Each structure stands twice: as structure tokens, then as C-alpha cells.
Structure 1
Amino acid sequence: MRAADETSGVARTEYRIGTGAWTAWTSPLTVGPAATVVEYRALDVAGNVEVVNRVTVPVAGSVPVATRTVALATTPVKYGRPVAVTVRVTSTKGTPTGKVRVLEGSRNLGTTTLSGGAASFRLRGLAVGTQTLTVVYDGNATHATSQATVTVKVMRTTSRTKVSTPSVTVGTAPRATVTVISNVTVTGKATVTVRKGTTVVAKVTGTLRSGVVTVTLPKLARGTYAVSATYGGSTTITGSTGGTTLVVNPR
């Protein structure tokens, strides 16, 4: 086995048979005549551990049947929503059985067992952007391993901003509560702007906590004002704006 690491370098490669102890790989491995599952992984100098890989060594004297893995994914998908991946493994002889894994680089996103040669995943935690996922069928005593790649586009999810400003009397500083709604937790800042006609009379920015912030506006003269709240968005969430009316009553 060979391993490579572009940063700190490979410290060692390990293997184990079945659920046995991990052993450093130093020379070719000899196994018995029965079908044997061998797991292997690499560790780098920085202490990072590769996702565990596995291969089934077939019964002595037998040749595993070649397999073909095909994967499809729902794409594009909004950030925070699950990505559905369906997998089918076929062969020219018999129905493949065993485990299937989905990898993003060296990160294992999920492992499941084939049923009738098929499997499905609902994956979370993918970053915004275009991701290439590798789907690996680990093989079994009679079927060889195979893999496929599938590309998923993850887009920024949307947001909706609401703002409320209860009426006040002259001489009382009004307060505005901004709520930004999304399918993921919203952080960042929101800005409240108060206008009298086309003139901006106040602008206050606050920090959102779990999508909510309340800001205190300056005292205003009697009248009716247009209030807007703007959330600028983030690397994972699009921005949005909401509005309402503020009434300042006489004493």
C-alpha cells in the first residue's frame, strides 16, 4: 500500500483484519484461505487519521466478479438542506451485497448497507459551492470493489426579515425588533433605517443572536415614519429586507 500527504507528510499506514487491533503496515500481508475483510488507513505527522478503507480478499482460488457503481444526487440544493444520494451497484453475476460509503475528500459522510444492490443517503454538512463526492462500494467475498463520483452544487439558503416597532409618544425612544428567518441559524448584523418621506432620520445597526436583535432608536418628533430592516447575508445565507411603520404620538 502507498499513501501520500501534501502537508505534514505520512507518518505510517495501518491495517487490521476484521475487528482486530490496528497494526503498522511494513510488508505484504498474508491471509488465510477464507474470505477476509482487511481495513486500512494512513496517519500523517500532524496526527490526522484518514477515513478507514476496507477491501474483501476473496476465497483462495476464486476471482471476484467485477461490479459497477452508479450514483445520483439531488442538485442544486440550498445550504442546510439534506442532499439525497441514491446508489446502485450491479454486476454480471449475482446481486452485490455489503457496505457503501460516501466520501468528501477523506471525510466519510455516511456508510450504509446495500439492499437489493441499492442504497440511499441523506447527507448534511456540505459547504456552499460545488462538491465532488466519491461513492465507494467495498466489495464482498464474491464481488469486487468499485466506485463512482457525483457532483453536488450547494447554494446559499434564503432568508426573510421582519421588523416590528410599537408606537410611542413624543419624548420616548422607540425600539425596533428585527427577526431574520432561515432554515439555519442566522448570525451577523442587521441595520434599521428610519425615514420621514425620503429623508433618513435614523440608522442603527445591531448584532443578531439566533436571528433576533432589538435596537433602540433616537427620540423622534411627532409623526409617522417608514422603518426598514436589512440583513446583509453571509457566506451561507442570502440577505433580505423587511419594513413596517412607526407612529410617534403626541403626549
Structure 2
Amino acid sequence: MGAERHILILGGTTEARRLAGELDALPGLRVTTSLAGRVAQPRLPAGEVRIGGFGGPEGLARWLREQQVDALIDATHPFAGTISFNAAEAAAEVHVPLLAVRRPGWVAGPGDDWHDVGSLDEAAEALPALGERVFLTTGRMGLAAFAHLGRLWFLVRSVDAPEPPAPPRMEVLLDRGPFTVEAERELIRRHRIDVLVTKDSGAAATSAKLTAAREAGIPVVVVRRPPTPEGVPTVADPAEAREWLDRILAGG
């Protein structure tokens, strides 16, 4: 690919780690992955790593300029939200090519009882009519949306311990995927779960809970993904991102 070129990956996902590993192994590339720092002990990718925010789109644009970034790849979580819009604004300002890597969302199949909602607040509003023992797998952020549901019991799974406000009747399970169908099936059985709440992350590593919920015949409240910036080219996996990057660095 010629002289050393600098690639910035906005990471935190399996796809970002895989892409960083593949690119870091190539000659002539300097690969930096930026992590938000919301997880205490993140899985670090290959190459250089920076942790923490940039200070909005202006700070990101400044970093792109100072670090002479040749291409920006947004491989953040589908629910990362603000950073994707910051990336689009910063890339446009500095004239750095931008690509988004977005894994496909989950799709309901035969036997699924899914309830589509637009936010955690809507999920909380839907819960009392669906069950009393909730398996909450939306992460440690946003528990405040469920804090008023004192009649319901929650099994909250997250990588790091959540902070208040949180539901008063709650058990916390600290764990990190991938998860197996067998393990998810046992969690649902042991805790007598009668409703599951999840974000549509689309990750294969955490999809086993959906199979277990289908088998158990329990409803699933699925929080839709937030909107993403318009006009940003998007691919579904690291292989397609590699093809895009080859074209960009070759001047195509």
C-alpha cells in the first residue's frame, strides 16, 4: 500500500478488534483504535490504542489533523450514538474518508414474541404488561429508566457493576459474552425469567438469549437502534471494510 498510512478505528466491538488485527499485520499501515473507556478492563485490539473521548467533533477533527489520519473507520457499537455523528462531522471538516461498519440487526423468526420499542423508557413502560421477572441485558448504562418499577424483579447482566439509580429489586450478574444457548436457557430457568429486555446489537456473541427466550416461550422487548448519520458509506463486516480501505488508499 506504499508509504505508511494512518488508520483510525473507532472501536469497542468484535468487528473493530478483528479489523485492527488484520490491518496491523499489514506492512505500511499504522493502526490506532480508539475506545470510549466505559469498560474498566476492555479487550484491547492489536496496534496502538487510545482510551477516552476526543472532546466532540472539533476535538476529533483536531486529532485527525494532528495525527495525519488517512482514513477513519467507525466500528463502534450500534448504540454508541453520539460518536458516529461526531465522526461524520469531523471527517467532513478534515476531508478524511469515513466508513461505518455496522453488523446487521437481529430479525424475529417463527416462534418469537418480540415487542419493538424505540428507547429504554419505552421498554420500561411495556414491561408491567409482559412479566414480573425481567432479564435485563441492556448493559449497566440506563438502569435509571427502570428504577421506578418496584413491583418487578430484575436480573441485570453487565460487564461492569451498574451504579444507581437502579431498580430496587435487582440481582446483578457480571459477565461478558459470548454466551451459549445452554447457559442462557439455564439462567432463564433458574431465575424463573418471564420477560427479556435487550438492545438490537445484532451480535452473534449475545444472540443465544434470543434462542433461549424463544424456547421458553417468553416475550422479548427489543430496543431499536438509534439513527445514524446520512451519507456515510456502510458495510456489514471487516472483510468489506478491508476492500473499501484498499480502494481508498489506492486512490480509488
> What is the TM-score with the length of structure 1 in the denominator?
0.23
> What is the TM-score with the length of structure 2 in the denominator?
0.23
Higher RCO by CA contacts (8 Å cutoff, separation 6 or greater):
2
